[in-house]
Amino acid sequence: MPRSFMLAISLAALLPVSGSAWAEARPTPATAAKADQPFNIGFVLYTKGKVPGTLDARWNYANAYSGHGVATGGPASGAFAGRYHVRYFLETGEFSDEYDLDIEKHAGGNFYDVTWITNGTVSAKGVGMEVPNGGGLAVGWRRVAD
């Protein structure tokens, strides 16, 4: 009997406790239902366009969608930081989305806070960093509604 009791206590200690890291990491029915949906992670590389105040974009969302885009209305100085209007297209050339794009240089280096806005509401947020040797601005982002 004492051996059975000790086994029961040992097994009980392995059970997840509410609030424990293991319990929180287990998939729930809600997260399991989203398993077939793409990750809420995107990437975009902005390079300076030929026309001052423009950026060319190459983007990917969750490795499920990708394409190109162009941002206009930015600073003529050639800096990445500024306010733009961006239009994105799928690989097929079909229109995808458009946003007001706000790129702010973060204090202390070549890092940026990036915000995509639709009708005055923030749609996505990201962080970016300049790629050396004029390689552009690399930005990781996610939609804020998810």
Bridge partners, residue 57, by sequence: 46, 69
Q: Considering only 9-23, 24-38, 49-63, which range has the smallest mean pLDDT?
A: 9-23
Looking at residue 17, its pLDDT comes to 42
Helix (H) or strand (E) holding 48: strand 42-48
| Residue 30 Cα to chain centre, angstroms | 21
Range of the domain at 102: 42-143
Same domain, 127 and 59: yes
Same domain, 56 and 110: yes
Give this prediction's pTM. Answer: 0.74
- Output the average pLDDT for the chain: 82
Same domain, 26 and 89: no
Backbone angles phi, psi at 79, to 5 degrees: -75, 150
Q: Using 50, 70 and 90 to split pLDDT, how confident is the model at 34?
A: low
Same domain, 124 and 77: yes
Same domain, 107 and 138: yes
Nearest to 143 by CA among 128, 119, 121: 121
Q: Using 50, 70 and 90 to split pLDDT, how confident is the model at 37?
A: confident
Residues contacting residue 144 through CB under 8 Å, at least 6 positions apart: 122, 123, 124, 125
pLDDT tens string 84-141: 999 999 999 999 999 999 999 988 788 999 999 999 999 999 999 999 999 999 999 9
Same domain, 53 and 122: yes
Same domain, 111 and 139: yes
Same domain, 58 and 103: yes
Same domain, 25 and 83: no
Looking at residue 145, its pLDDT comes to 78
Bridge partners, residue 43, by sequence: 60, 140
Same domain, 49 and 98: yes
Same domain, 68 and 126: yes
Our count of domains for the chain comes to 2
Same domain, 22 and 49: no
pLDDT tens string 107-117: 878 899 999 99
